[in-house]
Amino acid sequence: MAASMAAGGGAVTRLLLGAPGGCGSARRGASARQVGPGGAGPGGVNVVFIDRSGRRIPVQGRVGEDVLRLAQRHNIELEGACEASLACSTCHVYVSQELVDKLPVPDEREEDMLDLAPQLQENSRLGCQIILTKELEGAEFTLPKITRNFYVDGHVPKPH
């Protein structure tokens, strides 16, 4: 049931980790990118992606939208090779510590896929399984430096 942590060697129960009070405070005052039709308004949730180069990208998502789709809508390099069917780990993100405590505990299928993600950390989650709520206002999602693509030729599928 519990996923073992790939990085660092030893098996660690993810459910026991995630002590409150970590780093990762949301930056206030950054303007979010405009969203397309149906976005923003009272259902809007402002979050920040931190890309592989460390660039902070504030965006506004919609309540009910998953983090993978939000990233793809803003051309942020989060792959999502299996299109949210829990068959890959290419939507791997690190979530800010406060968010670890706000999100529902990952289910067993998400844990299994996370076990395949390189550079797994205790705050690792699959972006396609994080559904935006108002409670996630100010959340930060950091892209890991690498992902494991299951295409041998390096092909990156386009969302559709």
State the residues that interact with ligand FES by CB under 6 A: 68, 80-82, 84, 86-88, 90-91, 113, 126, 128
**CB of 73: closest distance to ligand FES in angstroms?**
14
39: left (phi over 0), alpha (psi -120 to 50) or beta: beta
**CB of 145: closest distance to ligand FES in angstroms?**
18
**CB of 100: closest distance to ligand FES in angstroms?**
18
- How many other C-beta atoms can be found within 10 angstroms of the C-beta atom of residue 58? 18
Strands 44-50 and 140-142 come out as: parallel
Contacts of 79 (CB under 8 A, 6+ apart): 88, 90, 91, 147, 149, 156, 157
Indicate the residue among 110 and 140 with the shorter CB distance to ligand FES: 110
Indicate the residue among 39 and 80 with the shorter CB distance to ligand FES: 80
Indicate the residue among 27 and 108 with the shorter CB distance to ligand FES: 108
**CB of 75: closest distance to ligand FES in angstroms?**
16
